[in-house]
Structure 1
Amino acid sequence: MKPAGLSPPEPQAAAPAGSRLRRVLRAGAQTPSRDETDLVAQEVPVALEYNGIGHATLLASPTDLEDFAFGFSYTEGIIRSARDIYGVDIVERPEGIIIQVDMASACLNQLKLRRRSLAGRSGCGLCGIESLDEVRRDLPALPAPPQPFSAAAISAAVDQLRARQPLHLATGATHAAGWAGPDGNIRQVREDVGRHNALDKLIGHLIRNAQDTARGIAVISSRASFEMVQKTAAAGIPVLVAVSAPTSYAIQMADELHVLLAGFARGSLFTVYSHPEYLSIPGSPT
C-alpha cells in the first residue's frame, strides 16, 4: 500500500539494474516540501544452494549474481577453481532469489567444513560463525608481486573507481570493488549493497576469466575489514586499497598474508599499513 499523499512511481523502465523508482517527499525546515521520484537500491535475500544443499542466505543487490556465485564459493574455500562449478541457475521467487550451483562432488566435503548459517549477513561478516576457530581461514602467504606497483597507479585506480559506480551514483546506497592493472587503469567494477558481496562479485569475474590476479590492484569504496583482506589474499591479489580506514585485524592479516594494504585513499594521497616494499615511489630510498 502506498503511503498517503504520495503519487504512484513512474514506470520501472527508467530505473537502472539493481534499483527501483520510488515516490518520495522532499522536505526541510527552510524549504517547501515537494513530491518527487527517487531511485533506491534494491536489497534482496539471496540464498546459495550447492548440489541441492542450502548453504547461506545473504542480503545483496540482484545484479551480477553468477559472478557472485563464483566469487563467494572461491573466497569461502568451497571450490578450488572456477572449473569446479559446472553451472549456475538463478531462480527468482517472490520472497527472494536462489542461486543454484552445480559443482564437483569433490568439493562437498569443503562445503560441509565451511557451512554456516549466514542469514542476513552483517557488516562484520561473521553472522553464523559458531566458534573462534572459524573466524579466519588457513591461507598461505602470497608471494611478492612480479614487480612493484607505483603510487601513481594506485591513485589513478582510486580516482577512476568513483566514476565507474552507476548504481551508487543513482542511489547513493551501494559499495563497489574495482580491478585495475599495474598501470592503474580500472578494467572491471562490481557493485552491491554489501561491501563483501561487491568484492566477491569482482573476484568471481576474475577467476571466471582466468585473470592473472598477481598483477593487479583491488580497490574498494568502503573500509577494509579483516574479511576483505582475507578474500583478497584468497584470490591471490597482492594489493588492496580502501577509500576508508582499515581495522587493526585487517592490518594484522595483511601483514601475515603479504598483502599491501592501503587506506584513506583520496585524491593523490593514501596511507600504507602493510608491506610498503610492494610500492615504488620515485625518489624514495630502496
Structure 2
Amino acid sequence: MTVFDERADVFSHTGGVHQAGLATNHQIEASFIDIGRHNALDKLFGFILLNKFPVKDYCILFSGRISSEVILKVSKIGSGILLAKSAPTDLALKLANDLQITAVGFIRNTSLNVYTHEGRIE
C-alpha cells in the first residue's frame, strides 16, 4: 500500500481523486485514478478485460470506502482479496463473507483491519 500511495501523484496535488490497482506481494501491475471511486475501479476492470489479465493471483488495491457495490465489482473482476485505505460498510462485509472475498481496510503504515476470510493474509 505504501508503493500504491507513492504512485498517487494526482491525489497528493489535489486530494480529490481515487485510485484502484492490481498487485501481487511484490509489485503493482496496474493502477488507475479518477475523481469517482467507482470509475477508478471500472477503469481497472476494463484494463483486466482488454488485456485478458489473469487476476486469480492478484489483489485489488483501493483508495476508497468499501461499499457493497465495490465488493460486487471485485467479485466480478475475480480477485479474492481487496485491500483498501478506508472503512467498510456492514453490508459490504456481509457480501464479502458470502462471496469469499478477503476484505482489508484502514491500511496505514504497519496496521490494518482484516474483516473477512483472514486466513489469506499472513
State the TM bucket, normalised to the shorter chain: over 0.9
Max Rg structure:
1
Counterpart-to-counterpart distance in 2, 1:207 and 1:196:
16
Counterpart-to-counterpart distance in 1, 2:26 and 2:32:
17
Could you tell me how far 1:170 is from its partner in structure 2? 2.5
Question: What CA RMSD, in Å, does the superposition of the two structures yield over aligned residues?
Answer: 1.0
Could you tell me how far 1:267 is from its partner in structure 2? 0.6
The answer to whether the 8 Å contact 1:184/1:217 transfers is no
Q: What is the count of residue pairs matched by the alignment?
A: 122
Could you tell me how far 1:264 is from its partner in structure 2? 0.5
Residue type at the aligned position of 1:236? G
**1:177 aligns to 2:20 (yes or no):** yes
Counterpart-to-counterpart distance in 2, 1:184 and 1:220:
17
**1:168 aligns to 2:15 (yes or no):** no
The correspondence of residues 18-57 of structure 1 with structure 2, limited to 5 A, is none
The correspondence of residues 247-266 of structure 1 with structure 2, limited to 5 A, is 247-266=89-108
Residue type at the aligned position of 2:53? Q
Higher share in helix: 2
Residue type at the aligned position of 1:267? N
| CA deviation map 1:56-82 (0-9, x unaligned) | xxxxxxxxxxxxxxxxxxxxxxxxxxx
Residue number in structure 2 paired with 1:85: none
**Runs of 5+ in structure 2 lacking a partner?**
none
Q: Provide TM-score, normalisation by structure 1.
A: 0.42
Q: Provide TM-score, normalisation by structure 2.
A: 0.95
Could you tell me how far 1:241 is from its partner in structure 2? 0.9
Aligned-residue sequence identity (percent) comes to 34
Counterpart-to-counterpart distance in 2, 1:226 and 1:159:
25
SS at match of 1:254: helix
SS at match of 1:213: coil
